[in-house]
Amino acid sequence: MTEAEARAELIEAARKRFAGPVAFQLSAPELHVLPAPDVPEIAFAGRSNVGKSSLLNAITGRSGLARTSVTPGRTQELNVFNVGEPPEFRLIDMPGYGFAEAPRDVVKRWKHLVFDYLRGRPVLKRVLVLIDSRHGIKPVDREVMAMLDKAAVSFQIVLTKGDKIKPTQLAAITEAVLESSRAHPAAYPEVIATSSEKGLGIPELRAAVLAAALGK
């Protein structure tokens, strides 16, 4: 089987997997509330308003699975979604970071929750770090990427809102982000550009999630 055929096969397998049961399980304000660590988990991280909820809805093909909001920082807990019944793996929607409107003590609590999860969840297979394609990597993103390096947690960069810039600009930012990611030992060597509205990169992202969950 060629590499192209294997990729096409994985994309189709991922499409079928997400066409099956996908359901919200719970919101965890603290780690002990999370379900037992008995299946692989793929986490979604990113600055507030990066389009995390919209991307989760696009991947799963369910418009109302993850709540979207124009108010940055609405996701204040770890939101857990089961894929499969019984679950074969889980998607974890983490609180957005880098928001300026929330009170300082709330921000501190959210940071502790996120960092504790990243450092201490044994079934966490990969973190998808979402970057707004219009703005590129910000200092707060670099802090998170450095923390993932230190924790030896595999992460992959996903560009969001790719339909908001010209294709040539998207290609350029994708290459620049890929080059920047090479400085991080925990970074997966592929950047996926996506658009939740247009469907750009969604099949490839589904395939990446499935591959990570299966340990490929």
**How does pLDDT run across 27-56, given as a tens digit for each residue?**
998 899 999 999 999 999 998 889 999 999
Residues 111-132 have a mean pLDDT of 90
Of residues 131 and 96, more confidently modeled? 131
Residue 181 and residue 145: Cα distance in Å, rounded? Answer: 9
> What residue ranges do the domains of the chain occupy?
3-213
CATH of domain 3-213: 3.40.50.300
Residue 208 and residue 211: Cα distance in Å, rounded? Answer: 5
Residues 126-145 have a mean pLDDT of 94
pTM, two decimals, is 0.92
- Find out whether 18 and 206 touch, Cβ atoms under 8 Å: yes
Say yes or no to pLDDT of 102 above 70. Answer: no
Q: Say which DSSP state 31 is in.
A: G
Say yes or no to pLDDT of 69 above 50. Answer: no
How would you classify the pairing of strands 155-160 and 192-193?
A: parallel
Residue 208 and residue 11: Cα distance in Å, rounded? Answer: 8
Residues 69-89 have a mean pLDDT of 78
Predicted pLDDT of residue 68: 54
- Confidence label for 76 from pLDDT (cuts 50, 70 and 90): confident
Residue 110 and residue 106: Cα distance in Å, rounded? Answer: 6
Predicted pLDDT of residue 71: 47
**150-163 confidence digits (pLDDT tens):** 889 999 999 999 99
Of residues 210 and 97, more confidently modeled? 210
Q: How far apart, in Å, are the Cα atoms of 65 and each of 59, 78, 190, 214?
A: 10, 14, 27, 23
Of residues 176 and 140, more confidently modeled? 176
Q: Count CB atoms within 10 A of the CB of residue 94.
A: 22
Which stretch of 60-64, 175-179, 201-205 has the lowest confidence by average pLDDT? 60-64
Say yes or no to pLDDT of 9 above 90. Answer: yes
Which stretch of 14-23, 75-84, 165-174, 194-203 has the lowest confidence by average pLDDT? 75-84
Q: Which two tokens stand for residue 28?
A: 């965890």
Predicted pLDDT of residue 201: 98
